[in-house]
Amino acid sequence: MKKTLLVLLVLFFFMGNVNAQFEMGKHYVGPSLGVGAGGYGLSFGADYEYGISLKEIGFDEPGALGVGVILRYYSWSQSFTFLNLTYEWSYTDIIIGAQGNYHFKLSNEKFDPWVGLILGFDISSASWNGPDNFGGNLDASTGWVFFNASIGARYWFSPTIAARIGFGFGNIVSSIIFGVDFKL
């Protein structure tokens, strides 16, 4: 039974004649897993995007505009030992952002590349746990607005399911994001 279900699932994902490139008026939503540069650890999150025709907003371009939101959660820690004493920093970031992506129109409809911008807010906290003679325990939190650029692509396995990879660059954590998107 499990093998039959697996075969049906694989056939569903790899159906032929996929016509699934980014479409106007459709919703795209999915979970993501990110790897941060500089030792920032893994992120867990979700992405949402809605397709808008550029002609609707006054442009005569072949591509499409996607607008939406991102949500990311990062948590990592660093520790070291010096003179038999252990010092540890723990960090947490919750990132909420608005995204705008320009999707290029290609003849290969399985491939959906984009470039985009993200304007968001980072809610960050840090805690220090060390010996009392070095200040004891410390907890701090802050938040700030950030601006990032991104590039990425989707590859459609079926008309409604795609794998996604994206690269973020900017004044917040640079990262590689992997995800799965569902077209609704």
Element (H, E) at 9: helix 2-13
**Span 14-35, mean pLDDT?**
76
pLDDT at 163 over 90: yes
**Span 43-68, mean pLDDT?**
83
Give the whole-number percent of the chain exceeding pLDDT 90.
Answer: 40
pLDDT at 11 over 60: no
**Which of 159, 154, 156, 157 has its CA nearest to residue 177?**
154
**Span 154-164, mean pLDDT?**
95
Grade residue 132 by pLDDT with cuts at 50, 70 and 90: low
Grade residue 112 by pLDDT with cuts at 50, 70 and 90: very high
**Span 98-114, mean pLDDT?**
92
- Identify the pLDDT of residue 41: 73
* 3-state SS, one letter per residue, for 10-33: HHHHCCCCCCCCCCCCCEEEEEEE
Give the whole-number percent of the chain exceeding pLDDT 70.
Answer: 75
Q: What is the DSSP letter of 2?
A: H
Beta strands in the chain (DSSP E): 27-36, 42-53, 64-82, 85-103, 111-129, 138-156, 161-170, 175-183
pTM value is 0.77
Domains of the chain: 26-183 (2.40.160.20)
| Residue owning tokens 């003679």 | 133
Element (H, E) at 49: strand 42-53
More confident residue, 111 or 88: 111
**Span 6-24, mean pLDDT?**
51
pLDDT at 12 over 50: no
pLDDT in tens, 34-51: 887 655 678 899 999 999
Grade residue 161 by pLDDT with cuts at 50, 70 and 90: very high
36 residue type, one letter: G
pLDDT at 78 over 70: yes
